[in-house]
Amino acid sequence: MIKTIRREICRFFYEAIAKHLPRTSCRIFGMPSCKWRDHLYRCITGSKAKKININRMCHFENDVIIGDRSGIGANSFLHGPTTIGKCVMIGSDCYIYTRNHEFDRTDIPMIDQGFKGKKEVIIEDDVWIGSRVTILPGVRIGKGSIIGAGAVVTKDVEPYSIVGGVPAKLIKKRK
């Protein structure tokens, strides 16, 4: 009960104040802003991650796990459940979705069909995700991969792959 109340108070301060503070790269207020967002993230999720960087205007759900030394770019939106490994760089304006609308029936408007079940997104260690990338439900991005800016990732990405495009396709392997 007390844990839930504390989590909700931290969520309030994050949404009302911390996410609006200056970017991490701001010379004067950047580091205090980053540390404040980092502290509130850990309070909200119970994470023990070290040296994370959540930039301004990011939204994340309570079941988003961010690994040590990983960063989320400005204006990104992360649905949960999502697991982000260590040393992951996520650019600005990225979206990670873990559920989708139902649309199978044609006799009922899609807006009235509800949602499909959530499918976890997993981003393994040492991944670089460019700006404005969209990752769809159930995707696993393998270790050491690079996702090109603007890509829409609809299926799993093998380790050490470079992918890009809409939908994202293999460009080349890193090793």
Q: Is residue 4 part of a domain?
A: no
3 part of a folded domain: no
For the chain, the domain total comes to 1
Q: Does residue 59 carry a catalytic annotation?
A: no
Beta-carbon contacts of 120 under 8 Å, excluding residues fewer than 6 positions away, are: 81, 82, 83, 98, 138
Q: Which domain holds residue 86?
A: 51-173
Query: What pLDDT is stored for residue 26 in this prediction?
Result: 54
Q: Which helix (H) or strand (E) holds 43?
A: helix 30-45
pLDDT digits (tens, 9 = 90+) for 126-137: 999 999 999 999
Q: Which pTM was predicted? A: 0.88
End-to-end CA distance of the chain: 49
Q: Which token pair is 53?
A: 């960087």
Give tens-digit pLDDT for 125-166: 999 999 999 999 999 999 999 999 999 999 999 999 999 999
Checking if the pLDDT of 104 tops 50, the result is yes
- Kindly state whether residue 5 falls inside one of the protein's structural domains: no
126 vs 46: CA distance, rounded Å: 23
Q: What is the mean pLDDT of residues 56-65?
A: 92
Q: State the chain's mean pLDDT as an integer.
A: 91
Give domain status of residue 152, yes or no: yes
Residue 142 belongs to a domain with what CATH number? 2.160.10.10
* Buried b or exposed e, range 63-97, using 16+ CB within 10 angstroms: ebbbbebbbbbbbbbbbbebbbbbbbbbbbbbbbb
Residue 90 has pLDDT above 50, yes or no: yes
pLDDT, position 30: 46
Q: Which two tokens stand for residue 33?
A: 């802003």
Contact yes or no for 164/141 (Cβ under 8 A): no
**Rounded distance, CA 170 to CA 102, Å?**
29
Name the band, by pLDDT with cuts 50, 70 and 90, for residue 4: confident
